Chains A and B, each alone.
Chain A
Amino acid sequence: MLNRTPLLILLLLAPGLNGSAAPDAVMQAIDVPVWDESSAAPAVRRDIVPPHIGLATEQTEVFVADPDERKFVPPRLAELPDNAWGKQVRDGRDIFVDTQRYARRFVSNGLNCSSCHLSEGRMAGAAPLWAGYPLYPLYRGKNLRANTYPERIGECFRYSMDGTAPTLDSPEMQALIAYSQWLSTNVPTRAIMAGRGFAGVRAPREASHGRGKIVYQSQCAVCHGKNGEGVRRADGGDGYQFPPLWGWDSYASGAGMNKLGTTAGFIKGNMPLGKRGSLTDQQALDVAFFLKIQSRPWDPRMGWFSVFMDDIADG
């Protein structure tokens, strides 16, 4: 403990150092939620996605990590009525799954909303919209005040999409609100739903980007690329099939996904895609640390001087 104290002070003075210098000290500062590992037995449920024609078998079942946990089921797209409100909701879904095309003017990296909010914002454990929308307005420690839902969407655009917050009266914002409210049909207002946000991780050891690099190369690089550059869309459209994890087309340093605990929870609950829950908490945390020390667009709340100092500190 004694030999850690100077490092901790150094960390308080220079936040940019916490990337590669002192993983143990970083771990002390993370509030790690509890992840219940008791229900890890694989089970199957009906898939909501119809099978592709080209598949060899008509597989209509998917594996779920925790079958006993009851999760909310949002309404289906086919249930939408054919009127102005239904069109607004469909517009919101279009923006959500293809932000690169439908909200181009507010995005400056290569991500879509559904790059993190998987399955069009429906996946429990991947910050589903039906668990987030009913909670707002909500106090957030990020900006130390109560935020309305449109403001929260604006922050997604500003940090995770490295872009500009849409004005609150823009059609993009209204469509996204309508889509969120429709996905939360019959969710009680202000209820904390099971599957909200991301899973928690509890790792026995402190995070190590060295181990994380190994896990990344063996588990993640096949989709996200050896250098985290992702895979572009095959049809040549803007955006990515698999999102880039660092570099200019990825999320900014101010994004929630750049926080170690958040990233680890997302990875633990959702990655590798279709094999959720297959990494241990330790592996998820290691990969998260490996991602955090990479270069990415800087935090728009910081000026060029802090960014410059960060670059020097990271060496």
Chain B
Amino acid sequence: MKQLALLLTGLLAASHAIPRDWPYDQRPSAALPLGDLPGTLVEETPRRPGKRFVPPELNELPANAWGDLVREGRAIFIDTPARAPRFAGNGMSCASCHLGEGRKPDAAPMWGAWPMYPTYRGKNDDVNTFQMRLQDCFRFSLDGLMPPLQSREIQALTAYAQWLARGTLSGTPPPGRGFVPVKRDIEPSGDRGRVVYGMKCAVCHGADGEGVKAADGERYQFPALWGNHSFNRGAGMYTVRTAAAYIKGNMPLGRGMSLQDQEAYDVALYIRLKDRPIDPRKGWVSDFARGFTGL
């Protein structure tokens, strides 16, 4: 009964997540309409209207050595387990979080990150170059190994990010960088998160967060949210507020900004409480102790 009430409140909350006076300006969709849709629907409603940077298109790349490096970076970016197998650890690609091949605003786009580096990061209390940031992504979010700075993978990903950022001003944060802002004073609840997860997320990510494999049976169509094939406890996505900001801006896929801050926080906590690879900065003892402290 209590669950039913929660479900109803969740539905009610979802129904007025979008304010009535939302500016519904139209823009052409990047996706082609499916064949069985009625009419040729090529317009979609942006949930966060405003000017956004438009990265260059793939066919603008020249056919030379630099273009090859950028194309290789893109291939690694969208298919990391297959194209960077020596460093990738789990089933995720860079594009699992950086949606739209690293182009989508509010999903930590590459063009938003590139002009800001080198920058100070509290995570390791040091000034990080962009290449070191890439290494952290491999180490934590991909639960793999840090590629050496001179490796082909780092060079290709650097070239890809710099190409996507063509025209952004160095040192100036472009709008749409990182994730959307969320409220900070929110008390998340894993129980409510489980309800929201079952309603909104489980259809793609699976009832047990196992994700959905692609037709080839190896790659993931929808990434696993916990378990051994997901990001580890050192990833930024393991932080509840970061995950909530990501969820709010992008999830459910194609319906970003449809959840409320509270719902996003709840789901983020629910995902955090699940089992996943340990933080590589910590030993197995602290991971063992985690079961007793409940953190």
Q: A residues engaging B (CB < 8 A)?
A: 83-85, 88, 133-134, 136-139, 144-146, 148, 150-151, 167-169, 174, 177-178, 181-182, 184-191
Show 14 residue pairs from A and B whose CB-CB distance is below 8 angstroms, ordered by the A residue. Answer: A85-B118, A85-B119, A139-B66, A146-B65, A148-B155, A148-B158, A148-B159, A151-B150, A178-B127, A181-B171, A184-B170, A186-B171, A186-B172, A189-B170
Contact check, A182 vs B129: say whether CB atoms are below 8 A apart: no
A150 and B118 contacting across the interface, CB-CB below 8 Å: no
| Complex interface bits, B42-86 against A, C-beta within 8 A gives 1, otherwise 0 | 000000000000000000000011101100000000000000000
Task: Contact check, A174 vs B165: say whether CB atoms are below 8 A apart.
Answer: no
Chain A residue at minimal CB-CB distance from B118: A178
A145 close to B118 (CB less than 8 A): no
Query: What is the size, in residues, of chain B's interface with A at 8 Å between Cβ atoms?
Result: 33
Q: Which residues from chain B contact A144 at a C-beta distance below 8 Å?
A: 65
Closest to A88 in B: B127
Pick from A138, A139, A151, A189 the residue with the most CB of B within 10 Å. Answer: A189
Cβ of A134: which chain B residues have Cβ within 8 Å of it? 170
Looking at the complex, which one of B115, B126, B129, B162 makes contact with A136 (CB distance below 8 Å)? B162
Would you give the shortest CB distance from B113 to chain A, in whole angstroms? 12
The answer for the CA separation of A168 and B131 in the assembled complex, in Å, is 10
Q: Which chain A residues lie closer than 8 Å to B260 at the CB level?
A: none
Q: Interface of chain B, helix or strand or loop or mixed?
A: mixed
Query: Across the interface, which residues of B come within 8 angstroms of A188, CB to CB?
Result: 166-170
Q: How far is the CB of A83 from chain B (nearest CB, A)?
A: 6
Give Cα distance in the complex from A134 to B117, angstroms. Answer: 12
Bound: A189/B158 CA distance, A: 13
**Cβ B65 vs Cβ A145 within 8 A:** yes
Select A84's contact among B127, B129, B155, B168, beta carbons within 8 Å: B127
Closest to A134 in B: B170
- Other A-B contacts than A84-B127, A146-B66, A181-B170, 5 sampled, CB-CB below 8 A, are A84-B125, A139-B65, A144-B65, A148-B158, A190-B165
A146 near B126 with CB under 8 A, answer no
B120: Cβ under 8 A from any A Cβ: yes
The answer to whether A146 and B167 touch (CB under 8 A), given A168-B149, A177-B129, A181-B117, is: no
Q: Flag if A137 contacts B155 (CB, 8 Å).
A: yes
Is A138 within 8 A of B66, CB to CB?
Answer: yes
Q: How far is the CA of A191 from the CA of B64 in the complex (A)?
A: 19
Complex CA gap A30/B170 in Å reads 34
Q: Are B158 and A137 in contact (CB under 8 A)?
A: yes
Q: Is the CB of B127 within 8 A of A187?
A: no
Chain B minimum-CB-distance residue to A133: B170
Partner pick for B165 among A83, A133, A184, A189, CB 8 A cutoff: A189
Given contacts A84-B120, A84-B126, A139-B64, are A189 and B168 in contact (CB under 8 A)? yes
A174 CB to closest chain B CB (Å) equals 6
Shortest distance in angstroms between A175's beta carbon and chain B's nearest beta carbon? Answer: 8
Counting CB contacts under 8 A, is B231 at the interface?
Answer: no
Interface contact A137-B170, CB-CB below 8 Å: no
Q: Are B119 and A189 in contact (CB under 8 A)?
A: no
Q: Mark B190-233, 1 if CB is under 8 A from A, else 0.
A: 00000000000000000000000000000000000000000000
